[in-house]
Amino acid sequence: MRQTGYKNIGITIYILLLLTPVYWLLNMSFKTNREILGGLTLWPQNFTFDNYAVIFTDPSWYNGYLNSMAYVSINVVITLLVALPAAYAFSRYKFLGDKHLFFWLLSNRMAPPAVFLLPFFQLYSSIGLFDTHIAVALAHCLFNVPLAVWILEGFMKGVPREYDEMAYIDGYSFPKFFIKVFLPMIRSGIGVTAFFAFMFSWVELLLARTLTSVDAQPIGAIMTRTIGASGIDWGVLAAAGVLTIIPGLLVIWFVRNHVAKGFALGRV
């Protein structure tokens, strides 16, 4: 009984420490700059929505969110389109060098983004892809596709080969079998993969900031450039931070069941 009490106290303290920065960010987003710099207050004394109004009315701010959502969505779609057939091949067929190729894919994921920064910058500048959504999405695919293949291959190995054979006996073509029969069986794995691809692409800043300048600049890059003539606008920066958290929370909410099942059954 006493151990359960200690455990509950520990969990409560952990949750409070985890939520304190989030609450403080939310608290600051409803304050004026003068109040933020004036002293420590646990809640806004002069409650205001002006910081959010700046973000929703200033194109430089809301375009940053639209740009981020654009290249993140493109990245998730490309990652799944490439990783699904690749993972199926690794899970169903044996071919020369399959284990070495699989290891090579994972080794790309282990490299830091800074390693590929200069090659990407020179390549995209020379072919006219610099400062475009597809440029950032393709750069992120270098890191998301290997992880996606690794996760999906684990789920696909859990599906018996007899399903493939029965589908062929029933006259299913491979595309029809793959889309209508096989993919529904691994929807939890697809949900987990989409979740990890989204989260990496949403929070990654180095490549996204370097490969864009104006037209495709993400919200993370805009948040690092909020210093004006009057200094840093802390309230607007806090409001931007709150709005940056929301997409991740929505993704977690919609795929929560798939993620929970994926962590229990898959290679995660």
According to the model, what pLDDT value does residue 3 have? 61
Structure-derived torsion over alpha carbons of residues 198, 202, 206, 209, reported in degrees to the nearest 10: 130
According to the model, what pLDDT value does residue 167 have? 86
In whole angstroms, how large is the CA radius of gyration of the chain? Answer: 23
According to the model, what pLDDT value does residue 255 have? 78
Provide the whole-model pTM: 0.86
Report mean pLDDT in 10-residue bins for the chain, 268 residues. Answer: 69 88 91 85 86 90 92 96 93 78 76 88 93 94 91 88 87 89 90 91 92 90 70 86 90 77 59
List the beta bridge partners of residue 227: 232
According to the model, what pLDDT value does residue 265 have? 57
Question: HSE of 253 in the Cβ direction (CA atoms, 13 Å)?
Answer: 6
Identify the structural domains of the chain with CATH numbers, from first to last. 1-48 (no CATH), 57-262 (1.10.3720.10)
Q: Which pair of structure tokens corresponds to residue 64?
A: 């940053």
CB 148 within 8 A of CB 79: yes
CB 222 within 8 A of CB 152: no
